[in-house]
Amino acid sequence: MNIDPRTVGAQVRMKMPLMTPLEARVIDTITGRSQLDLTTSIREVADDAGVSDAMIVKIAKKLGFNGFREFRAALVSYRQSDVAAMHAEISPEDSSADIVKKVFNTAMQALEETMSIIDMDAFDRAADLLHGARNREFYGLGGSAQIARDVSHKFLRIGLRSSVYDDTHMMIMSASLLGPEDVVVAISHSGATTAVIEAAALARQNGAGVIALTNYAGSPVAQMADVTLCSTAQGSPLLGENAAARIAQLCIMDSVFVGVAQRDFAQAETQLSMTMASVVAKRKK
């Protein structure tokens, strides 16, 4: 099977929430091996991880590969790719130039890998749902709420009104009033934010469409959504995953925004001209 090297890191990371603690430890052992090539045997890997050969094969298949050999080949190919080389950990000895380069490269890696895994059918479905909705509600806490505000602002520029909720009670109240003509965008990096999941589940129970934006395809919010849009970002002790994933998620939603506008381009252009004109007077001359 031909695998795009850019998708391998994402494929492994997105499946991690579905793994048991033992399986996760074994995956960390395999991906952390500095010496891994096409001659590395399954016995070497199994001995390093302290498990059986059969366990290695089981984990490879659970990650979406046909077996250990395909998993090994995919990892080797990924490590040799330009996108994998972008990521580097930040250290106390880094100069300012090093810091800037590493932070930017981490963001670019997240963008490259996210672009490689975007499900275009899900993208089109999300744009269709948002374009045709009566009410568009965005649910998210913390950094996810900032993404929600950004895309809500863009929608307003083309005359599509939406609401952003970043409070647990407000989310659930909003969800209780939605129906089949409405759409919720549930944003959660981990995909496990209880308040977002509960509100989105209630909205769906009431007939509303649910679009999930998350970093993990197997997460609870992704499992209950009608449409899932996934970002992917590599973790970093200092930056964490969220910083890079946020940039990827903003780009996903920017793309969805353009897709929605494209569905009635003339109307979007008219509304954009009106909203842009309305703020001109607020700029200092």
The verdict on 137 and 255 lying in the same domain is yes
Q: Would you state the pLDDT for residue 34? A: 80
pLDDT of residue 84: 63
Residue 129 inside a domain? The answer is yes
- Is residue 42 domain-shared with residue 134, that is, in the same domain? no
What pLDDT shows up at residue 191?
A: 92
Which residue positions in the chain have pLDDT lower than 50? none
- Domain end point (choices 64, 99, 114): 114
Q: Which CATH number goes with the domain that contains 78?
A: 1.10.10.10
Chain segment 151-175, per-residue pLDDT in tens: 999 999 999 999 999 999 999 999 9
Residues 73 and 99 in one domain: no
150 near 104, Cβ under 8 Å? no
Looking at residue 157, its pLDDT comes to: 95
Residue 256 lies in a domain: yes
Let me know whether 45 and 24 are in one domain.
yes
Could you give the 3-state DSSP secondary structure of residue 179? coil
pTM over 0.85: no
Q: Does residue 211 share a domain with residue 107? A: no
Considering the domain architecture, whether residues 155 and 199 belong to the same structural domain is answered as yes
- Measured distance CA(243)–CA(180) in Å, rounded: 34
Residue 135 shares a structural domain with residue 189: yes
pLDDT in tens, 48-106: 999 999 999 999 999 989 999 999 998 888 888 777 666 666 677 888 998 888 888 88
Alpha-carbon gap, residue 246 to 285, rounded angstroms: 34
Same domain, 142 and 213: yes
CA distances from 270 to 7, 66, 256, 275, 281 (A): 39, 52, 19, 9, 19
**CA separation for the pair 266, 120 (Å, rounded):** 24
Nearest to 248 by CA among 130, 142, 116, 88: 116
Q: With respect to residue 285, please indicate whether it lies within any of the assigned structural domains.
A: no
- Claim to verify: residue 174 and residue 54 sit in the same structural domain: no
Is residue 240 situated within a structural domain? yes
254 plus 148 within the same structural domain: yes
Predicted confidence at residue 4, as pLDDT, reads 78
The confidence score (pLDDT) of residue 245 equals 86
Residue 98, pLDDT score: 86
Using CA atoms, how far apart are residues 124 and 136, in angstroms rounded to an integer? 16
For residue 42, the enclosing domain spans: 5-84
What is the predicted pLDDT for the residue at 238?
A: 57
Number of domains in the chain: 3
Q: What is the pLDDT of residue 128?
A: 97
Does residue 165 sit in the same domain as residue 32?
Answer: no
Query: Which CATH number does the domain housing residue 129 bear?
Result: 3.40.50.10490
Residue 189 in any domain: the answer is yes
Are residues 259 and 204 part of one domain? Answer: yes
